[in-house]
Structure 1
Amino acid sequence: MSFRKTDDVSISLTSIFMKLVGLWIAANKSEQRVRNITVGYTMIAIIFGTWIQITDMCYSWGDFSTCIYITCNLLSLSMAFLKILVLLAHKEDFFRLILYLQERFLYADYNDYEKRIIIGCKRKCIFFVSFLTFSIMATLGAYVLKPIIANISRNTSDRILPFNMWVDLPLTVTPYYEITFVLQVLSLYHIGITYFCFDNFLCILNLHVAAQFRILQYRISNITDLMNRETLEINQRFSASSSCFANKYYETFKKCIRQHQALIAYCKKLEEVFNLIVLVQILVFSMMICLHGYQILIAKTSNIVRTIFICHISGCLCQLLMFTYSCDCIIRESLNIAIAVYRGPWPFLPSTTSGKMMRKDLTIVIMRSSVPCYLTGRGFFIVSLETYTSVLSTAASYFTLLKQRVEATS
């Protein structure tokens, strides 16, 4: 099962990456076998990369800068491993989120104003996804260029690999070097894709949910636009049969309520699937930004290593921003439902049975909208733009402590 043809570059690009990882909806059994093989390869690549880094850490213990460098790599590996494990555990629910996005959000019947909301949402998705993808791909490219540049002035017997491997083999000699180099690069790119593709998709889901809340606000505020002209004329004349208008209004409003309930349920399912990833990611971001800052500003490393971490810290900041901003959009737009209710023509409804029920339901909607939809870090905190500033503040504190420690030992 794949998305129909769409002009949404962000979804098309992200779906390609997720197919490469192996977590995407299969159309038939043969395609499902390919997905299973791809997931297996992804797990092997992550385990292979983790083994390389842990072994290098053991042999490099005592070299502070090298250990910091390896720790940065291990944090990225652990995040990629956690994301795929969590989503494999919630695979059915994750696929339902994808199908619901496709059927109810992307290809629903919208009027011109609602289409403009969806187009604005797509533009935001394209910006965030493109920038994060470029940053991570640039980081991966810098990892590959590092040994290529370093080997220019070296003998063939003294060549280095993208990552140190401590095995009892002549890895600097042909063909061992070329085989090992290709294996490391393939694993590197697969791990990199696993690291960011799920964050891209979560951002897309969040922004589309926020857009649906905006569309719901418009429909509630302009509920008469959803009704036929005959009913509208009855409302304008305020004739003795105006109860017909109240009945029609109430029926249309119930559709909006059902849409609101569906969006709330969708947000709860998002929270259920992604809350553990959110928790660990927010906790790890502070440490990663701190350690990347150390590699850029303090550590005595080559320019290519600094380039790696400049690209990586740019990706981290974008990743954190799109993550917290998209969650904040859900909070703000779900709260604005209560404001949209006041803009409707409910004061003109007659005191009929439908009119009284309508006012009661309006009150319930306002009360429910006062509690926003949100994503949390396993229930410990709500993710919003305030989380972004908190993570940066914590990272700055960690960096200050690390700098003082380095200055004290030097």
Structure 2
Amino acid sequence: MTLIKAIKGIFFKDSFDFSEPDIDLYTFHPQLRIFIAPLGIFFNNRKSLLRFLWPFINGSLSIVAIVLEMIFVYHGITVGDYSFATECFCYFVMLSVIPVLYCAVLANSQSVMVLLDKMDKDFEYICKLGAKYRDHFLQRQLLIWQLCWIWLGFLCCVAVLYTLMTLAPLTYQTLIATQDENMIRPLLFPMWLPEDDPYRTPNYEIFLFLQLDYLLIFIQSFGVYVYIQFHVLLHNFTVLELVTFDFDVIFEGLDKSVVDLPRDDLRRLTVQRVFNRRLKRVATWHDSVFKSIGTLSRVQGPVIVYQVMFSSLCICLMMYQVADKLDKGTFDILFIMLTVAGITQLWIPCYLGTLLRNKAFDVADACWNCGWHETPLGRMIRPDIIIVIMRAQHPISIKFTGLPNLSLETFSSIMSSAYSYFNMLRQYNR
């Protein structure tokens, strides 16, 4: 019970002082530094050449695995073992994203730092505002913290399940099984070698170690990539929510009678300065969201294009693998979890992209419904309101060459394609 209570306390940040005035991004989200450093971005010594070491090792190992999986796919098709070829192709698609991810992050490392610095400044500024802004912002950040551990916990469950499904039979063979059972030692992923047996010593030990390593590499790279993606999107969604809050108080505490005064009157100028200050914050926050999503598009655009291009095919083959095993009387829990993970990693950016797009349009609605037509003060800011509404008509979305706007419509289209491919494969193999 003590352990459960401690985990619950970490999950809900029970020991964190939410009233602290000097909260910054890395105080609230210390995991960011830990997760981003292995991707090749150092925070203290940003130009250190050591930051390339871990990405180089992981990228090189991934390329070796990609080549092997291509050989396995070819062998499976050649001998007519389509179940083997399908499984290997799924792993080929999954591992191929790792070099793309490292190259994209390292090539845009400066943009990543700009994005994180901007988020850090948002923390420092918003945490010094009133309780309405501060409390709502920190509650959203707590949600991001919780979603981070839920996502990583799910990935770890998949990794642990893969490991247990391999080590449990291996333990049985080592301690209990007899020689006349003729059992083959299991690997995490199926393998084949043209002129050798991958299951003999020392091949087996080498491949088992490498496959465990690939499991960790994938979680540390692509799993973290998905977390950073929804962290940035939810952060900017929260900023847009605060923009709509600003319109609720845009006329608050201002004297209506100044409208009839000359433009150079001191009282009117004072009210105009208040309007300018409030609208400046609206415009600054709104523009910062466009810039942040643009930066995210440059950094993660190539990986998102890869996701969108191959997700329908990969999900289709995963479903086919599950159905094929069910036809043979076995329940492939590993591929069921892989299918869920594959669908989830695509659904997250599409869902958040839709939320962000709709919230951006809500800014225009909040501006229109701020009450400008019910008070004489509306005449003083009517041109500014028109500009904000026109700016808010531009959708906020991740954009990259060859990439459609990420939304639930995109997700629905990809899943429809995956189901069509699945039906076609099933009919072909009957």
TM-score tier, shorter chain, comes to 0.7 to 0.9
Matched, 1:199 2:199: no
Deviation at 1:5, TM superposition (A): 5.0
- Aligned partner of 1:293 in structure 2 is 319
Q: Does structure 1 residue 54 correspond to structure 2 residue 70?
A: yes
* Structure 2: gaps spanning 5 or more residues: 1-23
1:261 shift after superposition: 2.0
Cα deviation for residue 214 of structure 1 reads: 0.8
1:142 equivalenced with 2:165 (yes/no): no
Return the match for 1:255 from 253, 256, 281. 281
The CA distance in 2 between the partners of 1:303 and 1:40, in whole Å, is 42
Q: How does 1:308-327 map to 2 (within 5 A)?
A: 308-327=334-353
Alignment counterpart, residue 85 of structure 2, candidates 56, 59, 67: 67
Distance 1:237 1:359, change over 3 A: closer
Superposed CA deviations along residues 257-316 of structure 1, whole A, max 9, x for unmatched, are 222222222222222333332222122221122111112122369999812111111212
2:383 to 360, 371, 393: 360
CA deviation after TM superposition for structure 1 residue 215, in Å: 0.4
The 8 Å contact of residues 364 and 388 in structure 2, kept in 1 or not, is answered as: yes
| 1:9-408 equivalences in 2 (<5 Å) | 12-13=30-31, 15-20=33-38, 22-28=39-45, 32-61=48-77, 62-105=80-123, 108=126, 109-126=128-145, 128-151=147-170, 152-153=172-173, 158-163=184-189, 164=191, 166=193, 172=199, 177-224=204-251, 232=253, 234-235=255-256, 242-243=267-268, 244-299=270-325, 306-344=332-370, 346-347=372-373, 348-349=375-376, 356=380, 358-376=381-399, 378=401, 380-407=403-430
The answer as to whether partners of 1:271 and 1:375 remain within 8 angstroms in 2 is yes
Q: 1:228 — aligned with what? A: none
Q: Distance in 2 between matches of 1:217 and 1:350?
A: 19
Secondary structure of residue in 2 paired with 1:60: helix
8 Å Cα contact 1:26/1:32 also seen in 2: no
Relative distance call for 1:233 and 1:51 in structure 2 (3 A) is closer
Q: Deviations over 1:139-173 (max 9, x none)?
A: 32333234324433465994343342638777655
- CA distance in 1 between partners of 2:135 and 2:257 (Å): 29
Preserved contact between residue 25 and residue 119 of structure 2 (Cα < 8 Å): no
What is the TM-score normalised by the length of structure 2? Answer: 0.80
Structure 2 vs 1, CA of residues 26 and 169 (structure 1 numbering), >3 Å: closer, same or farther?
farther
Distance 2:45 2:109 in 1: 17
Task: Out of 257-266 and 339-348, give the one that drifted further.
Answer: 339-348
C-alpha RMSD of matched pairs (Å)? 3.1
How many residues of Structure 1 are paired with residues of Structure 2 in the alignment?
390
Amino acid at match of 2:136: I
User: In the alignment, is the contact (CA less than 8 A) between 2:354 and 2:406 conserved in 1?
Assistant: yes
How far the C-alpha of 1:74 sits from its partner, in A, is 0.5
Deviation at 1:123, TM superposition (A): 4.6
Q: Which runs of 5+ in 1 are unaligned?
A: 226-231
Deviations 1:332-367 (A, max 9, x none): 11111111213435443459xxx55x3212111111
Identity of aligned residues (%): 19
Moved more, 125-134 or 251-260: 125-134
Asked if the contact 1:335–1:372 (Cα under 8 Å) also holds between the matched residues in 2, the reply is yes
- The 1:259–1:91 alpha-carbon spacing in structure 2 relative to 1, beyond 3 Å, is same
Are the equivalent residues in 2 in contact too, given 1:275–1:379 (CA < 8 A)? no
Given that 1:132 and 1:318 are in contact with CA atoms closer than 8 Å, whether structure 2 keeps it comes out as no
Instruction: Provide the rounded CA distance (Å) in 2 between the counterparts of 1:292 and 1:19.
Output: 32
The one-letter code sitting in structure 2 at the alignment partner of 1:221 is D
Cα distance change of structure 1 residues 236 and 208 upon mapping to structure 2, 3 Å threshold: farther
Offset at 1:38? 1.2
SS in 2 for 1:110: coil
User: Following the alignment from structure 1 to structure 2, what is the Cα–Cα distance between the partners of residues 165 and 261?
Assistant: 54
Provide the C-alpha distance between the structure 2 equivalents of 1:5 and 1:380, rounded to a whole number of angstroms.
32
Q: Distance in 2 between matches of 1:302 and 1:192?
A: 31
Once the two structures are superposed, residues 14-57 of structure 1 have per-residue CA deviations (whole angstroms, 9 ceiling, x without a partner) of 5433333x33333026x934422111122122123213322333
Q: 1:199 to 1:193 in 2, by over 3 A?
A: same
With CA pairs under 8 Å and 6+ residues apart, which has the higher RCO, 1 or 2? 1
